Amino acid sequence: MKRCSIIIHSVSGNCFIIGNYLKELMAERNVDARLYRVDDPDLHIWANTQETTNEFYEDICELPLVGDSTLHKSDMIILGGPTRFGNISAEMKTFLDTTLPLSKDKSLETKFFACFTSCSNSTCEGAHTLNSLIYWAQSMGMLHIPFGVHYELEFSDQPVSGIVHLAGKEDSIRPGDRLGHELEVYADILAAYIQED
């Protein structure tokens, strides 16, 4: 069975919700989907001051930390994290910086890639984060699979490149049914590249 590693940084819990749902959707499509987290040494501080973080703190901390071996064993890598000032979070950036040797030895070349983010203000702001993640994947020689354009959806404000969740000023708006339906469509697209009959 092909392996899909979903690697998240989640502070408010929204990226955890999205990543966990994607894991379930990919498993339903006969893909060995696994959920990992990047290291965030300050998450306990956020959990003490922000209720949205506290709600999912234990669930996030129970996830295994991602490492180079996770990337090497994956047929598909999906990155997800919060948008901070129109870009990826410092914790996600720190993790990506550790992968520089992998860009030199090209060990991730031709693996499939997808991404998502959760942001406060606008889909446009989230799209900047997706572009940063895609640039990393392209630097690794990975093959980005976009969300694309879907006229069959009654309504979708997603960028072509991936999935953006709008969480509001306090990051308290949780992913809902509409986003869930968009993730189902994306899972169909992604799984088609690596699922086995």
| Span 101-153, pLDDT tens digits | 999 999 999 999 999 999 988 888 999 999 999 999 999 999 999 999 988 88
**In this predicted structure, what is the pLDDT of residue 171?**
85
Is the model more confident about 54 or about 119? 119
Length in residues, the chain: 197
Residue 84 bridge partners (DSSP):
87
CATH at residue 66: 3.40.50.360
pLDDT of residue 79: 98
Residue 5: per-residue pLDDT? 98
Counting residues of the chain whose pLDDT is more than 70, the rounded percentage is 99
* Predicted structure pTM score: 0.96
Identify whether the C-beta of residue 16 lies closer than 8 Å to the C-beta of residue 10: yes
Q: What is the pLDDT of residue 11?
A: 92
Say how many domains are in the chain.
1
Q: How far apart are alpha carbons 5 and 38 in whole angstroms? A: 12
What is the predicted pLDDT for the residue at 25? 98
Name the average pLDDT for the chain.
93
Mean pLDDT of 30-49: 91
- Give the whole-angstrom CA distance, residue 36 versus residue 22: 12
pLDDT tens per residue across span 162-192: 999 999 988 889 999 999 999 999 999 999 9
Tell whether the model's pLDDT for residue 53 goes beyond 80: no
- With tokens 């890639």, the residue in question is 113
How far is the C-alpha of 65 from the C-alpha of 77, rounded, in Å?
Answer: 14
pLDDT reported for residue 122: 86
Sorted by sequence, the CB contacts under 8 Å of residue 77 that are 6+ apart come out as: 4, 5, 7, 71, 108, 111, 112, 113, 114, 137, 142
Which pLDDT belongs to residue 197? Answer: 63
**Burial track 7-38 (b if 16+ CB lie within 10 A, e otherwise):** bbbbbbbbbbbbbbbbbebbbebebbbbbbbb
Structural domain containing residue 80? 3-194
> Which residue in this structure is represented by tokens 């996830």?
63
What pLDDT, on a 0 to 100 scale, did the predictor assign at position 92?
97
